[in-house]
Amino acid sequence: MQRTTLRCNTLALALSAALALPLAVMAQPAVDSAAGTAPAVQTTTDNAASTQSDQTPPAKTTKKAVQLQSVKVLGSLIPRVQIEGAAPVQVITGAQIQAQGYTTVFQFLQSLPQTSGNSDFYNRPSTWGNTAVNARTINLRNLGPQFTLLMVDGQRVVPYPQAENASFGHFAIQNANNIPIGMVDQVQVLATGASAMYGSRAMAGVINIILKKHYQGDEVNVKVGHDTRGGQKYGDINLFGGHSGSNWSFVYNLEHSNRAALYGSDRPDYDGVDDAGYQEWNASDRLFGYQYDAAGATGISLTGANGNYIAPPAGSCGAFKNFRLAESTTIGTSGDKVTGPITHKGQYCAQPAVFRNWVLEPGFRSNNGFAYGQYDFTPNLTAYASAAVYITHGWSQTQLPGYGFGTPFYDAGSDQVITHFSRQLTQAEIGSMAETYDNEKYWDLRAGLKGGFMDDQFDWNLRLDDQKYLVHENYTAYNIPAMQNFFLGQQQGTKTVNGVTYPVYTLNQKALWNPITTDQYNTFGAYGQNNAVSELKTVAFNINGDLFTIPWTDQPVGWGAVVEGDWQLYSLRPDPRTSSSDFEDPFGDFNQGHGTRRHYAVASEFSVPIVKTLTWDIAGRVDKYNDISKADIARTWKTGLEWRPLSWLLLRGTYGTNFEAPSLNSIYLTGSSATVGDYADPLNCIKTHNTACSDYQHPTSEYFNNLSGGDPDLTPMTGKSWTAGFVVDIPQVQGLSFQADYWNLQINNEIVWIGLDQTLNDEAGCLTGLTPSGAPYTDHVVGSAYCQEAIANVTRDANGQITAVHTGPINESYQQVSGVDGAINYTLRTASAGAFRFQLNYTNNLSWKSRTLATDPLINTRYQHVASRITGSLAWHRGPWNVTLYGLRWGSVRDNNYAGCQTLPNGISPSAGDASCVPYLAHIKPWIIWSTNIGYQFTKKFKATLTVHNLFDRIGAISPYAGGFEFVNGEQGQDYTGRQVFLSVNYKID
């Protein structure tokens, strides 16, 4: 029986009518999806890709069913214009990824032109207080990682369960950091809205990671390497194999990875607060040297009744590896002049290299396993199953405990009044307890049946998935009464001095001014443990095939559909002792929440050949939710055109609607808090004319609580996207193609977490009408309802010091981003010189428009981001040799303090409008790195490959106004790593 016949099979029409429901309702508003994968019927190619998709079964005499989510990868000699779809999909093989020098999937995904840099909190593991040690997210189009859908083999990945901390938005994110790179067959990237096919989270696009499925034999790969500047020694062993029979096949992968952490001590140019850009240094810093007490780098200090420091005993500061004797000296200023007087506040023990033991890049050990097998009962019925288990142990450190006592007391031992003292504990004193450890277990179990019916006119797939992600976070904590008893002992009554009554203690001077032992620390130190879990259970039925042939085109109408349901759980269980005032970690985090969601979806897609050269694609989807939020029914649709007026030219375009419901943690998070110790206070900066207003670590007495919680009244987000572009195969040059696409993504009613930085900036702007740079505040209308709420969300004491900030999600924002993508691909095969492959991918963001409220101005923030990104590679293969040269370029971005007043040579920062104000208009130069990969096949079984990542050993530069920690520009992709060298040895066992 022919598959493409004019006869409309009765069953086929009935199925198409039943499953095409979304097309009848696609004009309705959209909501969200917790899980869903609808069929993608488009295909694409990549000149470098010649391996089959993971979903393509081994060659057999009988056609077998394929999973509908796959995007087929075809050989480079087939013209791209003939197999490209309406929407552009980039496909990269696992071999290409490793040839570019990447050792993790996340590193590679971060390098894609369509993704943003690591400026968001989850991708900056060294940020103060970050507790999500192992989590790394992907942010397509810089709309936010919550809008990027990450899938493995066509199934969405369960959300990462652990909250970063209560001062960051608790959106559902997915972890791209624990997928072993040795298991990757290919990665497919669709960087435009695709909710009509894949449901929730696909508002910015979809990344589908295909794992290896078909192989014959066994092989082992060993990889070792390190940073040439020191740190991050790396070792990996990967065992991969597969076997098959007449009606069965099986593949497996076992991988162990071990990467040492990169510490501040490994990069001494970034380990101290005085490494900040020189323009950050104020008048006192420039005249007397950096003032570590003002920057939060105090190691030990003791303040007397007159407010000055009490001098440390001789030699005490030198007893600590990272402390030194420092003088606190300041000088008065008036306007743009240094006028005096000079004030001496005494001596204290400073820790200049305060970040020495902080982790710039976390360390990890992982053990991962994957197995996939299938069995053919008949030519039209196959059972398959897979199991993936990822076990990861990660460690980081950004803050060690310290003890500060800000209540004035009378010290019986020294017979004097002490108004304040602080004692920073050190790595040597705490030992291994100083690190934060994340122990994670993630498993993904799948099983299903697939086959064909009606003489293989239709393929079907019934799939069940069960995913669970567990995180056990162990962190440094301490018992507050026990710590106070160690340093102060019990109160010994009261004493009146000069008419003031003070409590009496006997300060343990020996413990204050000398290192303590680990055993002594253990008398008050403790481990805390936070636990988090997320689960996702899914059942889905997919079907596709050709419905009938259109007579005037002699081409079939393609059709696919999916029906699915899932259940999702989210739970944060903090250490119960954290709620006690006697137990605390250095960050004071307390994150809790629990909730579930049920979700159902039906989707359908058609590919209709209007004429021989014009194909119309249309898809629709309906999603239904059951949870405590206002998400109920979501309806989305998408349409696209593929026009091939010439055999070597494809013109294409798409338009569709997208959606996302509130994430479980944004609606179920309850009563969470975090102690904030690294922050800028814009209101204070405006009052003191501190135009740079950079983050710095405040004294313990100036910490405050950031209180946050979810909101069950959040409503769903909606959006739309459209693309238009072309693909050209040069007729006279085989293997050469060009493509370019314009894209535009919009999100309405966006749920945004009004975080700490934004809350404080809005409070300052709403109160003063200014920004710290002196420019007018334009984000919101001063006096508006938003401003009134922003002011109320910040609590200050009589001295203006922040005591509490309330943050949380709101449902108002609008985002619109647009840009162009371009690509050049060329493959040249010669008879004697070997084969060459050239690839170039380019993205330029044309606009980044956003606002919080409909009444706010729509601001284009393009110039606050890295707008252009380019990646390129040149590969050569001849006989046993293969060589790849890879380059990455991130465009320039405005420097810190852009448009603000330049700091004067004397260290004074004038305000906007002052006669001495000279606007600072500098940009950070483009970030460019090169990598290379050289491989040699010694025998049929043995191959060695040398990879050098960041060939010219570039590290991020500290700009003139870079302050605090995180000196380099993360959004631009800069880092501290430098050159990495890896040797990979591959041996085929049989």
pLDDT tens per residue, range 172-223? 788 888 888 888 999 989 999 999 989 888 999 999 999 888 888 999 999 9
CA distances from 669 to 32, 528, 627 (A): 19, 20, 14
Specify the pLDDT at position 514.
96
Give the whole-number percent of the chain exceeding pLDDT 90: 55
Find the mean pLDDT for residues 42-70: 35
Residue 260 has pLDDT above 90, yes or no: yes
**614 exposure class (CB count in 10 Å sphere: 0-12, 13-18, 19+):** middle
* pLDDT (tens digit per residue) in 88-106: 888 888 888 887 878 888 8
pLDDT tier, 131 (very low <50, low <70, confident <90, very high otherwise): low
Whole-model pTM over 0.75: yes
Q: Who has greater pLDDT, 60 or 637?
A: 637
Specify the pLDDT at position 58.
34
Residue 34 has pLDDT above 80, yes or no: no
Residue 912 has pLDDT above 90, yes or no: no
Least confident of 161-170, 193-202, 854-863, 931-940: 161-170
* pLDDT (tens digit per residue) in 467-479: 999 999 888 888 9
| Beta bridge pairs of residue 137 | none
Identify the DSSP state of 115: B
Q: Who has greater pLDDT, 88 or 51?
A: 88
* pLDDT (tens digit per residue) in 690-739: 776 766 655 555 678 888 888 888 888 999 999 999 999 998 898 999 99
Q: Who has greater pLDDT, 124 or 146?
A: 146
Neighbours of 24 (CB within 10 A): 12
Q: Do residues 643 and 652 lie in contact, with contact meaning Cβ atoms separated by under 8 Å?
A: yes
Q: Do residues 918 and 902 lie in contact, with contact meaning Cβ atoms separated by under 8 Å?
A: yes
Specify the pLDDT at position 129.
62
Residue 756 has pLDDT above 50, yes or no: yes
The phi-psi region of residue 123 (left if phi > 0; otherwise alpha if psi is between -120 and 50; otherwise beta) is alpha
Q: Do residues 426 and 168 lie in contact, with contact meaning Cβ atoms separated by under 8 Å?
A: no
Angle at 372 between CA 369 and CA 377, to 5 degrees: 160
Find the mean pLDDT for residues 645-665: 93
Q: Report the alpha-carbon distance of residue 231 to residue 233 in Å, rounded.
A: 6
Specify the pLDDT at position 696.
61
* pLDDT (tens digit per residue) in 442-456: 999 999 999 999 888
Find the mean pLDDT for residues 906-913: 87
Residue 399 has pLDDT above 50, yes or no: yes
Specify the pLDDT at position 287.
92
pLDDT tier, 678 (very low <50, low <70, confident <90, very high otherwise): low
Specify the pLDDT at position 123.
54
Residue 674 has pLDDT above 70, yes or no: yes
**E runs forming strands in 351-380:** 359-361, 363-378
Specify the pLDDT at position 683.
93
Please list the alpha-helical segments (H only) found in 657-730.
664-668, 682-688
| Mean of all residue pLDDT scores within the chain | 85
Residue 43 has pLDDT above 90, yes or no: no
* First-to-final CA distance of the chain: 42
In the numeric block, the tokens 């002052």 are attached to: 914
Specify the pLDDT at position 486.
96
CA distances from 209 to 142, 150, 286, 304, 593 (A): 20, 8, 52, 62, 30
Q: Report the alpha-carbon distance of residue 128 to residue 398 in Å, rounded.
A: 5
Q: Report the alpha-carbon distance of residue 246 to residue 430 in Å, rounded.
A: 61
Residue 643 has pLDDT above 60, yes or no: yes
Residue 165 has pLDDT above 60, yes or no: no
Q: Report the alpha-carbon distance of residue 626 to residue 645 in Å, rounded.
A: 47
Residue 55 has pLDDT above 60, yes or no: no
* pLDDT (tens digit per residue) in 316-334: 999 999 999 999 999 998 8
CA distances from 353 to 276, 296, 970 (A): 12, 11, 21
| Beta bridge pairs of residue 517 | none
3-state secondary structure of 609: strand
Identify the DSSP state of 901: B
Residue 675 has pLDDT above 80, yes or no: no
Residue 565 has pLDDT above 70, yes or no: yes
* pLDDT (tens digit per residue) in 847-858: 999 887 777 788
Find the mean pLDDT for residues 842-869: 87
* pLDDT (tens digit per residue) in 760-817: 999 999 999 999 878 889 888 888 888 998 999 999 998 888 999 988 888 878 999 9
Angle at 851 between CA 203 and CA 36, to 5 degrees: 15
* Three-state secondary structure of 138-171: CCECCCCHHHEEEEECCEECCCCCCCCCCCCCCC
* pLDDT (tens digit per residue) in 279-314: 989 899 999 988 888 777 899 999 999 999 999 999
Q: Who has greater pLDDT, 58 or 757?
A: 757
Find the mean pLDDT for residues 525-535: 92
